[in-house]
Amino acid sequence: MHAIQVEDLTKVYANDTLALEKVNLTINAGDFFALLGANGAGKTTMIGIITGIVMKTKGKVHIFQYDIDRNFAEARKMIGVVPQEFNFNIFEKAQDILITQAGYFGIDRSEAIKRSEVVLKQLGLWEKRNEVSRNLSGGMKRRLMISRALVHNPKLLILDEPTAGVDVELRHGMWDYLRKLNEQGVTILLTTHYLEEVEQMCRYAAIIKNGQIIKHDKVSSLVQLLEMEAYEFTVKDMHGLDKIKKYHPSVRDANVFEVELHRNNELNDFICQVHKVGMEIIDIRPKGYRLEKLFLNIMRE
Amino acid sequence: MLSEQIIAFKTIVRREVVRFMRIWTQTLLPPVITQSLYFIIFGKFIGSRIGEVQGVSYMAFIVPGLVMMSVISSSYSNVVSSFFSSKFQRSVEELLVSSTSNWVIMAGYVIGGALRGICVGTLVFFVSILFTRPVIYHFGIIAFFMMLSALLFALAGLINGIYAQKFDDISFVPNFILTPLMYLGGVFYSIENLPVFWQNLSQYNPILYMVNGFRYGFYGFSDVDIRTSALILVFFVLSLGAFCLYLLKKGTGLKT
């Protein structure tokens, strides 16, 4: 089953800006999907249309087979959304925000109180349930938005740059939580600027540029598109580095250098060369962020 | 499902009521104090020199008008300020992404605002008992005009909130349109005492019909036909309700 099916989606804003142009996109139920693109590419517009914040100009959107226009209530109940910016009432208490949100989805107050307790505990906010939301730290606010998005048990969770401005520890904690959710069957669509996040978590990704989807594939297949791959070599000492200059190594540390090599067996040749010049290899590590490289290449095209 | 929409409706109303009760020193107390000052100044100090109007003391004459003024301004300001602040904080998106229908959003805000108007109006009425003994000619008519006027101005407040882009926009209508209409709507005088030109001009002020219909419920007299007043009120409530739904469906001021 498709979690999201977008057909010929077009959005022209009042100032005649064409934000999306006949976009077609399908995301299967259970996917962990990334929507990538530069600022202004159309990611937030697409998410806005799917979630009901932005009016579409043309096209159709189905959420778990529910048309967002004809079966609007059913479609909305499937979606939980975590927007880019904090958008809760800053004067309300954390738990009240969740109870109210559940009420908007037609969940009875007594049931909403139970669900809010479960979600707040899962996200480590139970102790802060009676805290007015404006007094929460940035990371807590971010978790509160995730809790709010989950309080009605959606089958699809949409996160618009959920880890922007979040410290490393919290970011990793959020990744773990999202992975668990996905394992439980929740389809996840996220936009992010941290491509490391995509490589580590997402199975599929689409790249959007100037309002059009220009690449849509498995993350593993997308990184295969790169002809070059970066490696980090740790060596005993750097004597002999001059003799392998033609590979353009860049020194990172007293014993570490980085080099970009062609995917077609160039690694073997390079290792032979390194041995030949008398350098002793201690460790070889492929560099991450391959997707970042691909993304930059595509954006420059 | 209807039951889910009813829960959503109750959630919005509850949130609105909790909000205005939590900040009662800003929402309930000031209009009561203001209207009490009107009772003292216009009713006691000046009213004692005016004598009777249409067979009742001036103090008793102004009670329905002052109660209606509080109902109108409180209903209006509750919805416009609550809705605009949720737009300003973007917390309105909580509603927009939910399965709540447009008519439930409208009904929730409007009933929440109307409840504040009715609360304030009732408090002002009780304060008036300290100054005079207003009689009740027909409770049903009083309730009808109070509720429909509260609904009407809550709807007007919601429309203002939908269009408002900045805080100045939510004070423009109350200051420059609503207040003059209320003061010229026969709260402090009977239009019978006005020159013909002003009498005719007053006929175009919808608040005149509300104040007079409401006053009829207390004393059984009115400057205008009571049925016309009721019809005008119903017409405006239905028209603004339909317009409000149209704006919400279109996403005016809320969706890009």
Q: How far is A204 from chain B (nearest CA, A)?
A: 25
Q: Which of A189, A137, A199 has the alpha carbon at shortest distance from A162? A: A189
Interface residues of chain B, partner chain A, Cβ below 8 Å: 1, 3-5, 7-8, 10-12, 14-15, 86, 89-91, 93-101, 251, 255-256
The CATH fold assigned to A227-300 is: Alpha-Beta Plaits (3.30.70)
Q: How far apart are CA B3 and CA B227, in angstroms?
A: 36
Most A CBs within 10 A among B1, B2, B13, B91, hence the mutation to make, goes to B91
Q: How far apart are CA A54 and CA B97, in angstroms?
A: 10
Q: How far apart are CA A11 and CA A27, in angstroms?
A: 20
- Beta-sheet strands, E only, within chain B: 52-53, 56-57
The tens digit of pLDDT for each residue in A100-139 reads 999 999 999 999 999 999 999 988 899 999 999 999 988 8
Q: How far apart are CA B94 and CA A101, in angstroms?
A: 7
Is B98 close to A101, i.e. CB distance below 8 A?
A: yes
Find, in chain B, the residue whose alpha carbon is nearest to that of A71: B99
Q: How far apart are CA B50 and CA B36, in angstroms?
A: 19
- Contacts by A242-249, CB closer than 8 A, 24 or more apart: A243/A273, A243/A277, A244/A270, A244/A273, A244/A274, A244/A277, A247/A273
* Alpha carbon B224 to its chain's center: 19
Domain ranges of chain A: 2-223, 227-300
Scanning the structure block, which residue is given the tokens 């009407």? B152
Q: Which residues, in sequence order, are CB contacts of B53 under 8 Å at separation 6+? A: B61, B189, B190
Residue B188 has pLDDT above 70, yes or no: yes
Find, in chain B, the residue whose alpha carbon is nearest to that of A69: B249
pLDDT at A227: 66
Interface residues of chain A, partner chain B, Cβ below 8 Å: 13-14, 48, 51-55, 72-74, 76-77, 79, 81, 83, 85, 87-90, 97, 100-101, 103-109, 148
Residue B241 has pLDDT above 80, yes or no: yes
Residue A289 has pLDDT above 60, yes or no: no
| pLDDT-above-70 percentage for chain A | 92
Chain B positions in Cβ-Cβ contact with residue A74 (cut-off 8 Å): 99
Would you state the structure tokens that stand for residue A133, as one six-digit string?
């939301």
A2-223 and A227-300 share one fold: no
The tens digit of pLDDT for each residue in A211-224 reads 888 888 888 777 76
Is A85 close to B101, i.e. CB distance below 8 A?
A: no
CATH architecture, range A2-223:
3-Layer(aba) Sandwich (3.40)
Q: Report whether A11 contacts A19 (CB < 8 A).
A: yes
pTM across the whole model:
0.85
Q: How far apart are CA A83 and CA A47, in angstroms?
A: 9
